[in-house]
Amino acid sequence: MEFKGLVACRAGVGSSLMLKIKLNQVISENKLPIKIEHGSLDALSGFNGQLIITLSDVAKELEAKKMPQTIIGIDNIMDKAEILTKLNAFLAANN
Amino acid sequence: MDLTSEKLVRLNIEAENWEDAIRKSAAPLFENGKITAAYIDAIINTAKEVGPYIVLTKHVALPHARSEAGALESAIGIATLKTPVVFGNKENDPVKYLFCLSAKDSESHINALSELTGLLDREDFYALLDQAKEASEVIQYIKNL
End-to-end CA distance of chain A: 9
Question: Across the interface, do A15 and B57 touch by the CB < 8 Å criterion?
Answer: no
pLDDT above 70 for A73: yes
Question: Across the interface, do A15 and B53 touch by the CB < 8 Å criterion?
Answer: yes
Question: Across the interface, do B54 and A14 touch by the CB < 8 Å criterion?
Answer: yes
Percent of chain A at pLDDT exceeding 90: 58
Active site residues of B: 64
d(CA B97, CA B74): 19
Domains belonging to chain B, first-starting first, are 6-144 (3.40.930.10)
- Greatest mean pLDDT among B47-51, B77-81, B106-110: B77-81
User: Which residues does chain A have within 8 Å of residue B50's beta carbon, measured at their own beta carbons?
Assistant: 10, 57-58, 61
3-state SS class at B32: coil
Best of B1, B57, B60, B98 to substitute, by most chain A Cβ atoms within 10 angstroms, is B57
Question: Across the interface, do A58 and B62 touch by the CB < 8 Å criterion?
Answer: no
pLDDT of residue B94: 97
User: Which residues does chain A have within 8 Å of residue B56's beta carbon, measured at their own beta carbons?
Assistant: 15, 18-19, 55, 76-78
pLDDT of residue B50: 77
Percent of chain B at pLDDT exceeding 70: 100
Strand partners, A36: A5
pLDDT above 80 for A42: no
pLDDT above 70 for B119: yes
Question: Across the interface, do B56 and A57 touch by the CB < 8 Å criterion?
Answer: no
Q: How far is B74 from chain A (nearest CA, A)?
A: 11
B54-70 b/e (C-beta count within 10 Å ≥ 16 → b): bbbbbbbbbbbbbbebb
Q: What long-range pairs does A54-60 form, CB within 8 A, spacing at least 24?
A: A54/A7, A54/A8, A54/A9, A54/A16, A54/A19, A55/A9, A55/A15, A55/A19, A55/B53, A55/B56, A56/B91, A57/B50, A57/B51, A57/B52, A57/B53, A57/B89, A58/A8, A58/A9, A58/A10, A58/B50, A58/B53
Q: How far is A95 from chain B (nearest CA, A)?
A: 30
The model's pTM is 0.91
Contacts of B134 (CB under 8 A, 6+ apart): B11
Residue A84: pLDDT band with limits 50, 70, 90:
very high
CATH topology of domain A3-93: Rossmann fold (3.40.50)
Contacts of A85 (CB under 8 A, 6+ apart): none
pLDDT of residue A12: 66
Which secondary structure element, helix H or strand E, spans residue B103, and what is its range? none
Q: How far is B12 from chain A (nearest CA, A)?
A: 24
Does B110 contact chain A (CB < 8 Å)? yes
Residue of B57, B75, B67, B23 lying closest to A18 (CA atoms): B57
Write the Ramachandran bin of B91: left for phi over 0, alpha for psi from -120 to 50, otherwise beta.
Answer: alpha
Q: Which amino acid is at A38?
A: H
Question: Across the interface, do A78 and B120 touch by the CB < 8 Å criterion?
Answer: yes
User: Which residues does chain A have within 8 Å of residue B91's beta carbon, measured at their own beta carbons?
Assistant: 56, 75-76
Whether cis (ω within 30° of 0) applies to the bond prior to B94 is yes
User: Which residues does chain A have within 8 Å of residue B48's beta carbon, measured at their own beta carbons?
Assistant: none
> Helix H segments across chain B?
18-31, 37-50, 110-119, 123-131, 135-144
